[in-house]
Amino acid sequence: MLNQDIKILNETGVHARPASALTQLASSFVSEIKFVKDDTIYDAKSIINILSMGLKFEEIINLQVEGIDEADAIVAITELFETKFGEE
């Protein structure tokens, strides 16, 4: 299993459009992809789970990936956050 802390760089947080992009990307991988925020685990392949995290600017969450394509998944998802979902 790989894990990585991720800082939310979008000033508007993670709302519907970035949440949709995130779940689409996560769903393209076989690996199990989860986020941990405040000791709660969220499924990255569920838009409802992503939106329910209520991610705001500069919050830090932990990304956990486990499976056969975990290395590719963690790189791709981290890059999505680092590029602010293409919003800015």
The count of C-alpha atoms lying within 13 angstroms of the C-alpha of 84, restricted to the half-sphere facing its C-beta, is 11
List the catalytic residues. 15
Helix axes 16-27, 70-82, angle to 10 degrees: 160
Q: What are phi and psi of 14, to 5 degrees?
A: -105, 100
